[in-house]
């Protein structure tokens, strides 16, 4: 989950790691003093989550986002004409490295824990 405060040029990321039963095991937040657009902030959030999962050795794992366009761009591999093509390429490359076939689409606004961390 990522939230941008464009007025103050600050972006917050909330990452929640859950087990197979959906129970929270670990959570963290990261704040950057930069204002990112909706597409960029959601892509960076997914990239950070993938890197964290890899660093923590949480294999296999799945990644979920409620940003429909972001999930479609990553899963469809359509990034060549995107302004964020380099981030999408990094995500796809890391997913291949980790044997993650796709990003799951979560229910809209269903992840309150990650949202609260990002604020």
Backbone angles phi, psi at 15, to 5 degrees: -120, 130
Cβ atoms within 10 A of the Cβ of 12, count? 20
Tell whether the model's pLDDT for residue 119 goes beyond 80.
Answer: no
Tell whether the model's pLDDT for residue 100 goes beyond 80.
Answer: yes
**End-to-end alpha carbon distance in the chain:** 10
Task: Measure the CA–CA gap between 91 and 81, rounded to whole angstroms.
Answer: 16
Percentage of the chain lying above the pLDDT 90 cut: 24
| pLDDT at residue 54, rounded to an integer | 92
User: What confidence tier does 111 reach under pLDDT thresholds 50, 70, 90?
Assistant: low
Q: List pLDDT tens digits, range 24-69.
A: 888 878 888 876 788 888 898 899 889 988 998 888 888 888 888 8
Phi-psi region of 16 (alpha: psi -120 to 50; beta: other; left: phi over 0): beta
Tell whether the model's pLDDT for residue 115 goes beyond 90.
Answer: no
- Is residue 43 within 8 A of residue 88, CB to CB? The reply is yes
Return the higher-pLDDT residue of 10 and 108. Answer: 10
Residue of 62, 55, 8 whose CA lies nearest to 31: 8
Domain ranges of the chain: 2-118
For residue 56, the Cα-to-chain-centroid distance in whole angstroms is 16
Q: Could you confirm whether domain 2-118 is CATH 3.30.420.10?
A: yes
pTM: 0.78
């Amino acid at each position: 989950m990522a939230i941008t405060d464009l007025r103050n040029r600050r972006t917050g990321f909330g990452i929640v790691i859950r087990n197979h039963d959906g129970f929270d095991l670990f959570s963290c937040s990261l704040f950057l003093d930069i204002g990112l657009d909706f597409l960029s902030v959601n892509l960076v959030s997914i990239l950070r989550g993938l890197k964290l999962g890899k660093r923590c050795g949480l294999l296999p794992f799945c990644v979920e986002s409620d940003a429909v366009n972001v999930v479609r761009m990553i899963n469809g591999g359509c990034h060549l004409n995107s302004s964020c093509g380099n981030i999408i390429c990094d995500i796809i490359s890391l997913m291949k490295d980790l044997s993650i076939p796709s990003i799951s689409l979560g229910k809209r606004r269903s992840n309150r824990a990650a949202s609260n961390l990002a604020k």
